[in-house]
Amino acid sequence: MFRAKAGGKIQWASRPSETTMTKYVFVTGGVVSSIGKGIATACLGTLLKARGLKISIQKIDPYLNVDAGTMNPHQHGEVFVTEDGAETDLDLGHYERFVDQDLGPLSNMTTGAVYRSVIERERRGDYLGNTVQVIPHITDEIKDRIRANALENDADVAIIEIGGTIGDIESLPFTEAIRQMKMDEGFDNVMYVHVTLIPFVGPKNEMKTKPTQHSVRELRNIGITPDILICRTKMPLSNEMKNKIAMFCDIAPDSIIEGLDAEHIYQLPTTFERQGFASRVLKRLQLPDNPPQLSGWEKVEKTLSAPQHRLKVALCGKYMEHAAQPDTYISVVESVEHGALANEASAEIKWINAEDKEGIAQELADCDALIVPGGFGERGVEGKIEAIRHARENGLPFLGLCLGLQTAVIEYARNVAGLEGAHSTEFNPETPHPVIAMLKEQRTIDQKGGTMRLGAYPCSVMSNTLAEKMYGESLILERHRHRFEVNPRYHRTLEAAGLVISGTSPDKRLAEMIELKDHPFFIASQFHPEFKSRPTRAHPLFTGLIAAGLKRQTDRSQRNGHGVSEISELHRSIA
Ligand code: GLN
């Protein structure tokens, strides 16, 4: 089998498994997609890790794209970038946030990647003239990748989610491979969790178990009997229903876990714990069930149900992006939530349409903070610049992310440094002042992402800056996904005009963070801090933004004659 070494280099080794100590949990979905299979998978990881077990987590996407880098975020949601620069499915973002563990390059497997490896090997002649087939060559490649990810993480338990819905043509090689895993690794070392939906139908709004029965039958047709069923439902399942499902699906009634709708996904780890999900898994795998350490999640749950403060954070993006697909900015939205949780607050996001430049100042009037997130393409750029100007001039706390930094630099160049017509060459190649440009060396940086700077890069944080105050560290690692940079030719001019470059690449060539001195909170990063924020460990830039937003709210209300206690009262009444 092949083995992944630290640093992502893949080496070949002989099969069968050296990972017999690893137990495998496969999570499949039935009935319909989007019923929270990814979150259930992530929660299981959280609960096992909370018991001191080492886990690995992996997502299988049965589509033909080799990775998510080329996929349209409108159709598929955000592209999540891992530490080593893999462009992956947004579910991996959920995994990292819930499990609080960085994922490696083998954490996302697509049909495209699997076939590409097999076909490349066939072209090299590695199969010695044999006929290359789905079984065993594709299925072996899939199993090798599953084991390699477990091995790389030295996992006690490897959790693998199969994307799509059982019965899909394209997931068949994967379901066949995971069926075989039970023979390879042994009955006690492999188990299957199936997530289904219990719909409400008919004039009497009855809960129906039939789709679940069909879905389990479909699974059993391909040789897999689920050990645990998670039934997504709006209402609690009666014992009678559990017994019925148990009988038809050949599953013990206490292995049927109710996946009740939660108000917030971060309530789910503790909810699943109370349902005994992890304990059932451990029992089936014959592993000890130590008491879990869930104090961080209990605190999250408590804050979610009774936040001390509330605030409104403006997110200024292209209208179509958030209207058609809220998942486009999912990591940013989640990070705002984390920053709020760290401040015992609840944040409401106000989506601001960057294409309505004229209406922006008014839209921002009732907001406590502004975020301009990353993006590609010219649409909405002038509106983003306008929003940033408003934040800069009015002391509105501002956080710019990637394109958010670039637009902040353009705004400063034009309106403060007097560089008329300053722009990014991404949007105007003819600009007289290309303050944002693609650097020559950038073009050769990384084959994988073409010309993109992808994954974690070190950044030196300048002393006595807001950035240093936020991070409390002088060298940080943050994840990138962009082509353009602040043009080094303009660093000095911009600094002379008052812009502080508070984070740079260690060789000082690239500006990684900028900020302003005479402003309560104005900071932007060329990287994407949202990829590293976690609910139980919020990213400092988001914690800082929310704290600044809350402070502004308090200051404003005091100016308007309300005392602090009245404001809390006000918050409660809004709640
Ligand atoms: N379009 C910009 C670039 O490529 C910003 C990218 C981003 O925000 N992720 O540099």
The predicted structure's pLDDT at residue 558: 83
Residue nearest to atom 1 of ligand 1 (CA): 376
Is residue 17 assigned to a domain?
A: no
For residue 44, give the nearest of 182, 212, 164, 158 by alpha carbon.
158
Is residue 276 assigned to a domain?
A: yes
Q: Are residues 377 and 248 in the same domain?
A: no
3-state secondary structure of 459: strand
Determine the atom of ligand 1 nearest the C-alpha atom of 436.
10
The predicted structure's pLDDT at residue 326: 67
Rounded to the nearest angstrom, the distance between the alpha carbon of 535 and the centre of ligand 1 is 26
Domain boundary among 299, 322, 355: 299
The predicted structure's pLDDT at residue 206: 82
Rounded to the nearest angstrom, the distance between the alpha carbon of 57 and the centre of ligand 1 is 29
The predicted structure's pLDDT at residue 66: 84
Q: Are residues 394 and 293 in the same domain?
A: no
Looking at beta carbons, which pairs linking 424-428 to residues 24 or more positions away fall under 8 Å?
424/381, 424/484, 425/484, 426/378, 426/483, 426/484, 427/378, 427/381
Which of 438, 481, 487, 527 has most ligand 1 atoms within 8 Å of CB, for mutation?
Answer: 481
The predicted structure's pLDDT at residue 203: 83
* Residue 248 phi, psi (nearest 5): -70, -30
Rounded to the nearest angstrom, the distance between the alpha carbon of 432 and the centre of ligand 1 is 21
Q: Are residues 271 and 369 in the same domain?
A: no
Length of the chain: 575
Residue type, 170: E
* Residue 455 phi, psi (nearest 5): 90, -170
Q: Are residues 172 and 261 in the same domain?
A: yes
Rounded to the nearest angstrom, the distance between the alpha carbon of 135 and the centre of ligand 1 is 42
The predicted structure's pLDDT at residue 447: 46
CATH at 427:
3.40.50.880
Determine the atom of ligand 1 nearest the C-alpha atom of 402.
8
The predicted structure's pLDDT at residue 8: 37
CATH at 61:
3.40.50.300
What residue numbers bound the domain in which 175 lies?
22-299
Which of 87, 423, 482, 527 has most ligand 1 atoms within 8 Å of CB, for mutation?
Answer: 482
User: Would you give per-residue pLDDT tens digits along the chain (575 residues)?
Assistant: 343 433 333 343 334 444 458 999 999 998 777 778 999 999 999 999 999 999 999 999 998 888 777 676 666 678 899 999 988 888 889 999 999 999 988 999 999 999 999 999 999 999 998 999 999 999 999 999 999 999 999 999 999 999 989 988 999 999 999 999 999 999 999 999 999 998 888 888 788 888 888 999 999 999 999 999 999 988 888 888 899 889 888 899 989 999 888 889 999 999 999 999 999 999 999 999 999 999 999 999 999 999 999 999 999 988 655 554 568 889 999 999 999 999 999 999 999 999 988 999 999 999 999 999 998 888 899 999 999 999 999 999 999 999 999 999 999 999 999 999 999 999 999 999 999 999 876 655 444 445 789 999 999 999 999 999 999 999 999 999 999 999 999 999 999 999 999 999 999 999 999 999 999 999 999 999 999 999 999 999 999 999 999 999 998 888 876 654 554 554 554 44
* Ligand 1 residue neighbourhood (C-beta within 6 Å): 374-376, 402-403, 426, 481-484
Structure tokens of 439?
Answer: 């650097």
Residue 532, exposed/middle/buried by CB under 10 A (0-12, 13-18, 19+)?
buried
Does residue 37 come out as left (phi exceeding 0), alpha (psi in the -120 to 50 range) or beta?
alpha
Is residue 76 assigned to a domain?
A: yes
Q: Are residues 286 and 363 in the same domain?
A: no
Determine the atom of ligand 1 nearest the C-alpha atom of 376.
1
Is residue 14 assigned to a domain?
A: no
Number of domains the chain contains: 2
Q: Are residues 58 and 126 in the same domain?
A: yes
Looking at beta carbons, which pairs linking 446-449 to residues 24 or more positions away fall under 8 Å?
446/85, 448/85, 449/69, 449/85, 449/87, 449/481
The predicted structure's pLDDT at residue 201: 84
Residue type, 111: T
The predicted structure's pLDDT at residue 443: 58
3-state secondary structure of 233: strand
Pairwise CA distance, residues 358 & 383, whole Å: 8
Pairwise CA distance, residues 309 & 408, whole Å: 29
Q: Are residues 147 and 267 in the same domain?
A: yes
Q: Are residues 189 and 205 in the same domain?
A: yes
Q: Which residues are catalytic?
A: 402, 528, 530
Determine the atom of ligand 1 nearest the C-alpha atom of 377.
1
Is residue 413 assigned to a domain?
A: yes
Please give the C-alpha separations between residue 169 and each of 30, 133, 172, 173, 222, in angstroms, as whole numbers. Answer: 14, 16, 6, 9, 12
Please give the C-alpha separations between residue 556 and each of 363, 520, 562, 564, 571, in angstroms, as whole numbers. Answer: 17, 13, 9, 11, 14
Pairwise CA distance, residues 448 & 140, whole Å: 25
Domain boundary among 255, 270, 299: 299
Q: Are residues 202 and 277 in the same domain?
A: yes
Domain boundary among 270, 299, 328: 299
Is residue 462 assigned to a domain?
A: yes
Rounded to the nearest angstrom, the distance between the alpha carbon of 346 and the centre of ligand 1 is 29
Is residue 12 assigned to a domain?
A: no
Structure tokens of 330?
Answer: 């999912």
How remote is the C-alpha of 47 from its chain's centroid? 18
Q: Are residues 292 and 338 in the same domain?
A: no
**Contact 231/259 with Cβ under 8 angstroms?**
yes
The Cβ-side half-sphere exposure at 273, using a 13 Å CA radius, reads 23
Say which residue the tokens 């609840």 belong to: 346
Which of 315, 331, 371, 376 has most ligand 1 atoms within 8 Å of CB, for mutation?
Answer: 376
Pairwise CA distance, residues 281 & 287, whole Å: 9
Q: Are residues 318 and 224 in the same domain?
A: no
Residue 75, exposed/middle/buried by CB under 10 A (0-12, 13-18, 19+)?
exposed
**Contact 570/309 with Cβ under 8 angstroms?**
no
For residue 182, give the nearest of 26, 305, 350 by alpha carbon.
26
The predicted structure's pLDDT at residue 450: 58
Q: What is the bridge-based pairing of β-strands 200-201 and 206-207?
A: antiparallel
Does residue 78 come out as left (phi exceeding 0), alpha (psi in the -120 to 50 range) or beta?
beta
Residue nearest to atom 8 of ligand 1 (CA): 374
Q: Are residues 345 and 253 in the same domain?
A: no
Is residue 2 assigned to a domain?
A: no
